[in-house]
Amino acid sequence: MAKKKTNTKKITENKFFENARLFAEAILIATIIRSFLFEPFHIPSGSMKDTLLEGDFIIVSKYTYGYSRYSFPFGIAPIKNRIWEGEGPERGDVIVFRLPSNPRINYIKRLIGLPGDKVQMQNGRLFINEQAVPKEADGFYLDKDKGLVERYIETLPNGKKYKVLDYVPNFPSDNTPIFEVPSDHYFFMGDNRDNSQDSRFLTKVGFVPKRNLVGKARFIFMSSEGSLLKFWEWHRSVRGSRVFSRIK
């Protein structure tokens, strides 16, 4: 009888350690994927409308620009700047980065200025290196709180096209000084130009160091106007047309 109890205890212990090992392996695999390949992010604000909406869940590729300390959980990797960065980001990429003034916070914006560029806004028009970026009217965006908002398509010098919103003509941030982007830094702006804290605000965001880049936004894998925990409301809250759409 005692022998049977001993065997049962041993089987229980073996099962416990086996489950613990499987759990540890799952955590390790998830950490490797999150650090080196892909990471999910939730969009908490409307600063990138209508490219990204509040309630979008996106996938970001970590390998596109190489790796820095911020590619890893808690920023623990002893990497001074970046490694394996390849050709680096391009104008027009939508990028997640760590806020320079508080690296614990993730921001997502569109890359506008590369190192050495001169960036300025004049009467709502974007200038890069003293050249006006082409801006064409593209109808209206329907904001459920603000109504119809003017929408435009901008075309960057590399040919990248994207949509921007203009809620308020002659908004204070529609006119800026010239920002000269330092070496190893980037200049970011939100597509919702009148409702975005970005590199135009030097004390809040400013120029973003290369080491602060986390990864490139690739696609939306889920989008909801409400809490996903309320699964019984998904038929009303989930934006089906946005699910698995590519971020441009």
245-200-72-69 Cα dihedral, nearest 10 degrees = 150
- The Cα–Cα gap between 94 and 240 comes to 22
- 17, exposed or middle or buried, with CB in 10 Å at 0-12, 13-18, 19+? exposed
Catalytic residue among 62, 68, 71, 109: 109
The rounded Cα 65 to chain-centroid distance in angstroms is 13
Known catalytic residue: 204?
no
- The Cα–Cα gap between 21 and 36 comes to 22
Tell me which residue of 175, 170, 134, 171 sits closest to 152, measured CA to CA: 134
Count the neighbouring beta carbons within 10 Å of the beta carbon of residue 245.
Answer: 14
Known catalytic residue: 146?
no
- The Cα–Cα gap between 150 and 139 comes to 6
- The Cα–Cα gap between 143 and 168 comes to 13
DSSP state of 191: S
Catalytic residue numbers read: 47, 109
